[in-house]
Chains A and B, each alone.
Chain A
Amino acid sequence: QKEVEQNSGPLSVPEGAIASLNCTYSDRGSQSFFWYRQYSGKSPELIMSIYSNGDKEDGRFTAQLNKASQYVSLLIRDSQPSDSATYLCAVKIQAGTALIFGKGTTLSVSS
């Protein structure tokens, strides 16, 4: 069974710190990787996508992918209270299949 694993948290960081969120996946052939942010009671919002090994930066967000270790992470620099949410990791195993989501990590940023 294809799995995406995340630490449920909560991960607590002070305002201005770097938050590091981690995700592992079971299928070595996975092709595409995504991070979603979900505020309480709301639907998930796509914030980052990454397809090849290495880092991808977008503003305060950096996604990191290591296919050999089957590991993807999300770094949030200069964390703000508005970043407090659940972050979902999602993996697409191959074209023609649907995304598989982890259960999410809850991030709490204190001011």
Chain B
Amino acid sequence: SQTIHQWPATLVQPVGSPLSLECTVEGTSNPNLYWYRQAAGRGLQLLFYSVGIGQISSEVPQNLSASRPQDRQFILSSKKLLLSDSGFYLCAWSGAANYGYTFGSGTRLTVV
């Protein structure tokens, strides 16, 4: 069966520090991968999605970036965090085009 791993679970980082969040999927090949952010009191905001290695689509211009160095690995990064980057970051994967997504357990990021 397919599983998705996301870490770390919680993270407290100072303003201006770098960020790297990692997500890996097991048990499937060529998944579509997604990064969402959920800020307090707000809905799920799509940040990036990828349909294959090295293919990244950005939905919202910001100081975040994403990379997909391997088929089942998706990384979210920032060179310098802002206070507004605080939130619950969720990685998700899907198979066929119209299937729903399966989410990882999420990373709660607090920028201080």
- Residues on A lying within 8 angstroms of B by beta carbon are 31-32, 34, 36, 42-46, 49, 51, 88, 90, 92, 95-96, 98-104
Contacts and interface: CB of A to CB of B under 8 A. Distances in A.
A34 B101 CA distance: 9
Given A90-B100, A96-B97, A104 B43 contact: yes
B103 A95 contact: no
Contacts of A95: 97-98
Contacts of B99: 49
Contact of B43 (A45, A92, A96, A103): A103
For chain B, what secondary structure do more than half of its interface residues adopt (helix, strand, loop), or is it mixed?
loop
Contacts, number: 48
A43 B98 contact: no
Contact of A46 (B43, B44, B59, B101): B101
B49 interface: yes
Given A44-B44, A98-B49, A98-B59, A49 B100 contact: yes
